[in-house]
Structure formats: C-alpha cells, structure tokens
Structure 1
Amino acid sequence: MNPSVASALLAAFLFGASTPLAKLLVGETSPWLLAGLLYFGSGAGLLLARLVRDRGWRPSGLARAEWPWLAGAIVFGGMLGPVALMYGLSRASAATASLLLNLEAVLTALIAWVVFRENAGRRVVLGMAAIVAGGVVLSWPGKTGAVDAAGIAGPAAIALACLCWAIDNNLTRKVSAADAFFIAAVKGAIAGAINIALALWLGDMLPGWGVTAAAMLAGLGGYGVSLVLFVLALRGLGTARTGAYFSTAPFIGAAIALLLPGEAAAPAFWIATGLMAFGVWLHLTEHHEHEHVHEAIEHAHPHEHDAHHRHAHAPGEETASPHAHLHRHAPLRHKHPHFPDIHHRHAH
C-alpha cells in the first residue's frame, strides 16, 4: 500500500475512534473547555514526543511566508472546529455525529478545487456527491431521520465544524512539506491553551483530574497523532484525495458509537451509510495519469532518490534514505500515475 494512503487511513481510524470517546466526556464539562483539553493534550504530547525524538529543540523549517498559513489553520482547525463539534455532540447522537463528519471531506475537496485549483476527476466528484447525499439523508428532520429531539442545531454545529476543518486542511497543505510533528504540536498547544483560557474566563471550571487526563489522552491520539499522519498524507496525496481517504473516519466512529449504551440506528442511518460507503469506494479506486511538466522549484522535505529527486549532494550532506535538505528540482516532463502531492500541483 502507498505509505501516504496508509497514513491517511490510520489518521482516519484514530480520529474516528475519538468521536464516540469525546461524546462520553461531553456531559463532564462544557463543550468549549472540552475542545480545549482535547487539543491541548494533543499539542503537549506531541511537543514532548518531538523533544525526545530530536534530543532537544530543532527549528521548524517553516519559511516566513508559510507562518500565516499555519496561523489560519490554528484558528479554523484548532479553535473554531473543535468547539463547534463539541457543541454538536451535546445535541446529537454519537453515531449521527460520526457519519455527518463525512461532510469534512466534501467541503475540503470543494475548497481545494474551487479556491486552490486542485484537479478533480469524475470518480472523485461522483464520490463526493454520494457522500453529500448521505449527509442530507442523515440530517433530514422527521420520524425516520437520525436527528434527535434537539432538532437541527446539533447537525448544523457539526457541519460548521466540518467547514472549519475543511479550511484548515487546505491551509495546512500549504505547509505540509515542513515537519509534521511541529505543525500538529504547535496547532494543538496554541489552540488548546487559548480555548481553555477563554472557557475559564467565561466561568467554566476544570473537571477532575480523571476527566482531564482522559480528555487529553483522547486528544493526543484522535487529534495529535492523527494530525501528524494527516499532514504526511497531505504531502503525498494532495488535499482532496487525503480528505477522501480520511472520510472513512466516520464509519469507524459510527461503528464504535453503536456499541455505547443508548445508541441506536434508524433506517435513515443505514441508507446514509450505504451512500457514503459508495462515495468512499469511488475515492479509493480513483486513478490519475497523464503527461505533465514539473516547473523548477526549490524546497526542503524528507525524500528518497526517486524519479523526482535525482540530485547531487554537497560534501558532508546526509545521504541516507529518506533524508531531508534544501534541494532544487530542474524542469521535467514525464508521464506516470500520480496524485496532486507537493511535486504535482500543476494545472490540467
């Protein structure tokens, strides 16, 4: 399996499993404070892991022009998105919330296509349409739908969280060549600390140590490690394709959620599941190949000496595979199967 695909699927598994776990913690504290604890747990854990990995502090490798992209990702993905999700979880079942999170992949792809001009094939577009149809079925009010007594407020808040994370995903793609641990750690630590501070300022109280620890550990796995893997997938697959693979997360979350007490699946739930599963299958089986031109570019990221990295090294420069250093790509024209990764962001 392509390592980038494996990273995206594992990221989906960790995030999907975190949704029903977060649902269990919703009643223990406010949605705002819980969102802060989840993200702060991810940031603190990853910062510690990065220090251990590098045996001390190492520069991020981000260029000055890349910091605004990361700042925007922190605001939308680390601050606004988690608060909207926790609010939605307090007003919708965990199974419903898990499947509605499929909308993140759709919104991510739409922004990637419309704003950042990423290529979209017929199968990807049809798959996104199927996922949207599943989300509509799942959110439709009525006796056969999956919306509970709280009405549309819960699903609407979850959809807003998906939009925030879709913007976050596209902004994060702009910095995906940098250290994935640094990106995820900084996002979690800053966003988590700000959300916790704001929640406490508004009058919330920290829960007991047991709930606090549980929230931070859930955040480390579902938001921290998952985000590291997601950034690695962005680097190799592009935004829309990574979002497509990541859209398997809600199925994992829904399956776990149905094991919880009080969770039940209405007929609309299974109809939505079928539509979304079909959309994900189309994404997983998409193939893209054509003759394309690589423009000259200079950047730094972990790489091996494949068809796109046939360069010489300066004396004393690391040559073990994979390795990272600043390198220049000469113009190149060739044809092979590819994704819109950091080397294939060309027009069609």
Structure 2
Amino acid sequence: MTKMMLSRPVAAALLAAALFGASTPFAKQLVGQTSPFLLAGLLYLGSGIGLNLIRIVRDRSLQLPTMPASEWWWWLGAVIFGGVLGPLLLMFGLVQTTASTASMLLNLEAVLTALLAWVVFKENADRRIVAGMLLIVAGGLLLSWSSTGHGQGSWIGPVAIGGACLCWAIDNNLTRKVSAQDALFLAGGKGAVAGVINTAVGLAIGAAWPSWTQAMPAMLIGLLGYGISLVLFVLALRGLGTARTGAYFSTAPFIGAAIAILCFGEHASTMFWLAAALMGTGVWLHLTERHEHEHTHEAMLHAHRHVHDEHHQHEHDFDWDGTEPHTHPHQHTPITHTHPHYPDIHHRHGHA
C-alpha cells in the first residue's frame, strides 16, 4: 500500500500554486485601470524589488552568487523566455482572444512543461505521475470553460498564447538546471530584469504611469504572487523535478477560482466542483507516489543548503562549527543504494 507523503518540496509547490492562483483574482481588480503591458511590468517590479530587499536584509549585500558559467546561461534563458517573451506574448494574445479561450489555453503550460521534461530533458515519469498530471490539467480545462460562448476571433491570439505557454514551459525546465542555487537571487533577479523590460515596453507604446494608489497594490500582488511564489517554485523544483512541480503548480487556476468565490462572491458552478474532484484526485495520485529502486549517483561538485545525510558524507576544507544546515561547495562521490526518491538535484539518473 502506498504511503501518502507531504514533503517540504510538495508543500512548497502547493503553496507556490496558492500564491500565484490568488494573484489572479486580485490582479483582475486592477485590469482596466492601467495598460496590460505596464501592469505586467509592475507585477514583476514588485517581485524584483521586494525579493532583492529581502536579500539585502538577509545578506547585507546584493552580491552575485558564484555559479558555473553554464548555469548563468541557463538562468539567462529562463529570464528571457519566462520573464520577457512569455508575458509579452500573453498580453498580445489577450488583445486578440476572448478571456474564456485564453484561460483554457493557459493550461497548456503544465502539459508542455511535462512533455519537455520527459522528452527533451529525460526526466523520469511513471504511469501514476502521468495520470495525475492529466487529471489536474483536465480539471483546469473544465474550470476555464465558459458556458457563455467562445468567440471565434483570429487565430493569431491563440497562437500567441500557446507561444507564451511554451515560453513558460521552457522557463520551468531551464530553471530546474539552476535550482540548487539561491532561490531568492534566481527569483529576484528575474523579477528585476523582467519588470524593467516590460515596464519600458508599456511606457514606449504610450501607457501612462498609474497613480501610486494603483501601482503599489500591483507591486504587492507581484511580490507575493510572482516573487515569493517563484522562490517556493524553485525550492520545489530542487526537490521534485520539473514535471511533478509543474503538475502541482497547475492547481493554481482552481485555487484562484476558489478565492474568487469566497472573497469576491463569484458563483460556484457545477464545472467548478467537477474540476475540484479531478484536480484533487490528481494531487492525491502524486502525494501517494512511491518511486524506489537501486540507483547510482555519479561524482558531482555543487553547492546548496544541506545537512549531512546519506547523500552528504564529505570532509570540510574550513573550520566548521557543526551548524546544520549550511551551504558550501561540496563533492559527491559515486554511491549505489536503494531508497524512495524524487527526481531532485541528487537523483537525475537514467532509468532502464
């Protein structure tokens, strides 16, 4: 019988989804008051400024982390695809597409994220994980379906939104490559770069800067729904891998709809409860997953926050006071053993 586990990475993924899902109904209250491009810029600026202020308080500096050159390219790619191209394509698509169609198409992100993880980046997935993801995505499709019609419109809008989902799927998989690094830096740097670029685009096309009574709520929503949510998403990637994190995160539409019902008095339709049942079943399949087999860890040198568990039996080339967890570059020696695991930063091995 499979034992249900709610590990820290799983909790981080679900909380990331909750924060991002909650941002949608609250951000919706600001739509129409300012340019969509400028609103996207303010959301990311709130994330970037807020997270970097937290870094200053924590580290008393904004010193760049020590990352291998290859990881800087992975991170830059994630910023470009997820922070710049994705939002720009989404905003362009929303101009050409009805809201119901756009909402439905946004569920493509979870599917594309998982497909890239499995096909391109060779991440393992068993039938239970695939079935759970399909149920969660099906719930998202039901949740976004509108009974009031689906305007035909131009094909350009749906293609643009599909392109945005592909950009975010690429972003998710590239971010996994650097997920062992400082999550605050990864998310804060992305927010700052994306915020500046999107705000500049909004101003360049003639958008007027909103009053601070409009800008500050947008930036606060961005800090929580885009910034803190992304920090938690990175922590989940570190412990779960891309496909599983993406599946948990795809519960965000349900969470957003639940908040809209509870906080803003929207009606709970039959579709909502069907979607809740599908998503709940999908999450249950993931929570009760047990993946265990003999596997070999290759030699690896990296740095991340850790304790001295069975995967971290190493010497220190500095005076260590015994405090755990701690962070420093450390070498993993080859080891073969058997235990339950996720495709985390220490378990990216192949499967026969």
Mark yes or no: TM-score above 0.5.
Answer: yes
1:12 corresponding residue in structure 2? 17
Structure 1 residues 262 and 303: alpha-carbon distance in aligned structure 2, compared to 1, 3 A threshold: closer
In the TM superposition, residue 285 of structure 1 has moved relative to its aligned partner by: 2.2
Q: Say whether the 8 Å CA contact 1:145–1:268 is kept in structure 2.
A: no
Residue 71 (str. 1) matches residue 76 (str. 2): yes
SS in 1 for 2:31: helix
Q: Say whether the 8 Å CA contact 2:137–2:250 is kept in structure 1.
A: no
CA distance in 1: counterparts of 2:288 and 2:39, whole angstroms: 37
Deviations 1:53-78 (A, max 9, x none): 00123331222111111111111211
Structure 1 residues 32 and 305: alpha-carbon distance in aligned structure 2, compared to 1, 3 A threshold: same
CA distance in 2: counterparts of 1:219 and 1:79, whole angstroms: 15
CA distance in 2: counterparts of 1:49 and 1:150, whole angstroms: 46
1:213 corresponding residue in structure 2? 216
Structure 1 residues 19 and 231: alpha-carbon distance in aligned structure 2, compared to 1, 3 A threshold: same
Structure 2: any 5+ residue segments left out of the alignment?
1-5
Residue 321 (str. 1) matches residue 324 (str. 2): yes
Q: Say whether the 8 Å CA contact 1:138–1:146 is kept in structure 2.
A: no
Q: Say whether the 8 Å CA contact 2:47–2:227 is kept in structure 1.
A: yes
In the TM superposition, residue 127 of structure 1 has moved relative to its aligned partner by: 1.9
In the TM superposition, residue 171 of structure 1 has moved relative to its aligned partner by: 0.6
2:177 corresponding residue in structure 1? 174
Match of 1:201 among 191, 200, 204: 204
2:118 corresponding residue in structure 1? 113
Question: How do 1:291-306 and structure 2 match up within 5 A?
Answer: 291-306=294-309
1:49 corresponding residue in structure 2? 54
Task: Write the letter of the residue equivalent to 1:332.
Answer: I
Structure 1 residues 241 and 152: alpha-carbon distance in aligned structure 2, compared to 1, 3 A threshold: farther
Question: How do 1:1-348 and structure 2 match up within 5 A?
Answer: 1-85=6-90, 97=103, 101-137=106-142, 145=147, 159-259=162-262, 263-264=266-267, 267-317=270-320, 319-348=322-351
Structure 1 residues 273 and 147: alpha-carbon distance in aligned structure 2, compared to 1, 3 A threshold: farther
Identical aligned pairs, as a percentage?
Answer: 63
CA distance in 2: counterparts of 1:156 and 1:268, whole angstroms: 26
SS in 1 for 2:30: helix
Q: How many residues align?
A: 344
Q: Say whether the 8 Å CA contact 1:139–1:152 is kept in structure 2.
A: no
In the TM superposition, residue 120 of structure 1 has moved relative to its aligned partner by: 0.6
Task: Write the letter of the residue equivalent to 1:199.
Answer: G
Q: Say whether the 8 Å CA contact 1:258–1:264 is kept in structure 2.
A: yes
Task: Write the letter of the residue equivalent to 1:11.
Answer: A
CA distance in 2: counterparts of 1:84 and 1:147, whole angstroms: 24
Structure 1 residues 281 and 158: alpha-carbon distance in aligned structure 2, compared to 1, 3 A threshold: farther
2:3 corresponding residue in structure 1? none
Task: Write the letter of the residue equivalent to 1:315.
Answer: F
Structure 1 residues 257 and 318: alpha-carbon distance in aligned structure 2, compared to 1, 3 A threshold: same
Deviations 1:87-120 (A, max 9, x none): 66776569983x7654432221111001100001
Task: Write the letter of the residue equivalent to 1:41.
Answer: G
